[in-house]
Amino acid sequence: MSDKTIHSVMIVDDDKDDRDLARRRLERSGRYRYVLDAADGREALALFETYQVKRRATPEGFPPLLMLLDINMPVVSGFDLLERLDDLAGAEQTRVVVMLSSSDAVEDRTRAAKYARVADYLVKPLSKADALSLADRFGEVGQ
C-alpha cells in the first residue's frame, strides 16, 4: 500500500447523494486530509472568489489540490467552471481536475481532454479503487 496522500480535495456536484458517496469513499481511504464540497459550479466559484476569507477560515484545507468535478450542473456547469478557474485567485493551486460524471459520452470525454488542467475522466460513482488510485497518482509522500 502506498503512503501518498492528498492534502485537500474538493467535490463539485449538484447531486447530494453522489457528493456524499464520494466524500465517504475519500475519507474512508484515509488518504485525503481535507474533503471540501460545493453543491454546484456557482458555489465552487464563490469559494474561490472569496479566496482570502476562505483561506483564513481554513488555512490547512484551502485551496484544494484536487477537484472532482461533475459536468452536468445547472447554472454553472463543470465546463463553465473550468473556463473560469484560471481567472480566480488561488485556483492556480488546484493543479488537478478529474471530471467525475454520469456521462460516458465520447463528446464529453473529448471536450474534457482539451483542458490542460483535466488529468482524468471517471464515470460515477467514485469507487474505493478510484479514491486510492487518485491518491497514488497525484498525492505526495508524507503530506
Per-residue pLDDT of the chain (143 residues; tens, 9 = 90+): 578 999 899 999 999 999 999 999 999 999 999 999 999 999 998 888 776 676 777 766 667 889 999 999 999 999 999 988 877 766 666 778 999 999 999 999 999 999 988 999 999 999 999 999 999 999 988 65
Identity of residue 135? A
> pTM of this prediction?
0.90
Q: For residue 66, report the phi and psi dihedrals to the nearest 5 degrees.
A: -120, 140
Grid coordinates in use for 138? 497525484
CA dihedral (31, 9, 25, 126) positive or negative: negative
What span, in angstroms and rounded, lies between the C-alpha atoms of 89 and 98?
A: 20
